[in-house]
Structure formats: C-alpha cells, structure tokens
Amino acid sequence: MSVCVSSLLRFITVAIFYIELASCNVDKYVKYLDPEALAEIKASSSVPVAIKVDPLGCERAPGLCRPLNEFWEAAASVFPKRIFRLSCAEQQDICDNVGLSPIKTPKGREPMFVFWVDGEFVFYDESYNPYDIFEYIIDEVLPRSAREGGRNIAVAYDAIESYTSRTSTLRKAENLLNRKNFLKAFPILNEYIEKYPDHMNPLLATINAAVALDKYDYALQLVERARKREPNNAFLMARMGTVHHHFQRCDKALPFFEMAMQVDQDSQEGVDKENWEKFMEVKEFCDVQLKLANRSNGGVVSNEDEANVLIDELGNALEDSDLD
C-alpha cells in the first residue's frame, strides 16, 4: 500500500512540475547566458555553473539539441541560477564573441556542455547520454548546497527517460529509412510528428517517406505545414518543388523553385549545399521538360538545331539528376 501511495505522490509531483513548466516562461529555470551573466560568472571563481551551448541549426537537429531542452529545464529546477543555456541561433552576437576562452562555440549540429569550475571553463567530453551528464553535474560540478527542491531530482530523471525514449524512436525510424523500408518507417515518423509537431527534421523525414510511398497529397500537406512554421525557408520552398516533380507535375514545381531562388541565400541558416544543387538540377530538368511539352502542344521549334538543343538539354538534366 505504501509503495502505491509513494508512486502516486511521485506521479502527482511530476505532473505538477510539468504543468508549472508548461505555463511558465522558458527561462523560469534555465537562465540564458547574456553578457551580464557571463561577466558575473567570470567575476566569481568559487561559484560553479553548467552551460549548454547550442550551435546554429540546433533547433531542428534530430540529435541532442532541441530534445534535450526539456531535460535541461528539469536540471535547472534542481540547481536554480546555476544552469545556463546559450543559443547561437538566438544569441549569435554572444556566440561570435562568447568569451568562453579557451572553449570555442560548436560549429556542427550538436550542443556542447561547458562548466565553470575553479575559475576556468572546462569542456565536457565524456558520454553525451543525459543520465551521465546529470550524474557528472551532481558529482563533479555543482555542490549539494546548490540544490533546491529535492522533489525535482525525480523530475529530472523522468525527463532523461523521456528523452531516451524519444531519441530511440528517431533512431529506429532512421535505421528503417536507411534500409529504404519506408512502409515501416512511415507510421513511426507520423506518430512522432503528431506528438512533437515542432521538430523539423523528423517532419522532413516523414515527407520523404510519404513521397516514397506515393502519398502525394499528404506529402504536400506536410511540406505546407513545415512552410507555415518557416515561411521564408528557401529549402522548404524547393522541397515543395521536388515533391511536385516526383509526381510529374513540373508545371506546379517550377513556381516553388523560382520562389526559393529569390530568397537571399546568406539569410538562410545552415543551408545544405549538396541538396540545394540537387534542387537546382531538378529545376533545370523541369525547365527543359516544360519547353519540350510546349513545343509538342503547338509551340513551334524554329529549326532542327533548336530541337536537338532541347533534347540535349533534357538528356543532360536527366544525367545530372540523382532523383528518380
């Protein structure tokens, strides 16, 4: 009986915490590392802190970045005013002049963890499992005296379990996609994006699976859903074009490629140049295909040379394109 009561109380405690977390500002527990906070940290060698530094692109990465925020919030509730976050997407000026010497901000898609201990910044280079990170913070970084509200430790471990389950689902789906088992990957991804609608990369993976399964209308719905979140994202505009192209609708594809090309590429975060080149190859293919279609539907080819040029262009576009 006592075990049941204990479990019930733990459930209620965790539920109350998440209600509080959902209703509060994102920085109720996690403190953002602004210049004033950084100066204050450096001014005190005896007060250790933990910092999660998120690189550009972290918010849509399928790995450790965004899914770890829930855990980092829970950890911050255990150690108030000692847990910080630096988002290079939101605070790029600080990242460019971060001052975590000799630590440099990450350039990839995964976060890094930096600890201020004994008057210097220490880069964490051990296991990135959140359980190990939390244990390291408890054992090696922050003293017991910095803890508040022991009930929140249980919440932190629950957040770790949630993260582990979430990333396991993504890994399973990724393995299926790598084996081109779209039929099994699709329902897993579809359920995931309904549960986590703001996680961009799994949404894009679901689009790919939908296209592979010839779910034309649904693929377009998902791309449009992604575009509503990021209406100025040139990659998503071009992706809409490739979906139309896959289903032999070059007439509908070209306007999206043209919109994408009008966006200033320097304004796009983490542009995938390889995919962008493929998009442009598809655009070129559609350009030539529509020219040929116009000619066959009553348009006039002025001479045999022009016809041969169009045929050569189409052949080159097909040769360059990696798409089916």
The pLDDT, as a whole number, for residue 276 is 81
Q: How confident is the model at residue 312 (pLDDT cuts 50, 70, 90)?
A: low
Has residue 242 got a pLDDT over 50? yes
Has residue 320 got a pLDDT over 60? no
> Does domain 186-320 fall into CATH 1.25.40.10?
yes
Amino acid symbol at 91: Q
The pLDDT, as a whole number, for residue 323 is 47
140-146: average pLDDT: 89
How far is it, in rounded angstroms, from Cα 241 to Cα 252?
7
Average pLDDT, the chain: 79
The pLDDT, as a whole number, for residue 183 is 97
223-233 as b/e, with b when 16 or more CB fall inside 10 Å?
Answer: beebbeeeeeb
The pLDDT, as a whole number, for residue 76 is 92
The percent of residues in the chain predicted with pLDDT above 70, rounded, is 76
Render pLDDT for 106-140 as a digit per residue (tens, 0 to 9).
766 778 899 999 989 999 988 888 999 999 999 99
**235, 268 in Cβ contact below 8 A?**
yes
Which of 2-6, 157-161, 305-309 is most confident? 157-161
| Contacting residues for 30 by C-beta, under 8 A, at least 6 apart | 69, 72, 73, 76, 83, 84, 85
As a whole number of Å, the CA-based R_g of the chain is 25
Residues in the chain: 324
| Residue of higher predicted confidence among 288 and 323 | 288
Per-domain residue ranges for the chain?
2-158, 186-320
Has residue 316 got a pLDDT over 60? no
Token pair recorded at residue 144: 């017991």
Has residue 19 got a pLDDT over 60? no
Residues facing residue 113 across a β-bridge: 52
Render pLDDT for 82-115 as a digit per residue (tens, 0 to 9).
999 988 878 877 887 767 777 777 766 778 899 9
The percent of residues in the chain predicted with pLDDT above 90, rounded, is 31
| Residue of higher predicted confidence among 255 and 14 | 255
Q: How confident is the model at residue 69 (pLDDT cuts 50, 70, 90)?
A: confident
Tokens 């539920």, located at residue:
15
Render pLDDT for 168-221 as a digit per residue (tens, 0 to 9).
999 999 999 999 999 999 999 999 999 988 888 899 899 999 999 999 999 999
> Does domain 2-158 fall into CATH 3.40.30.10?
yes
Helix 151-178 and helix 200-212, axial crossing angle in degrees, nearest 10? 30
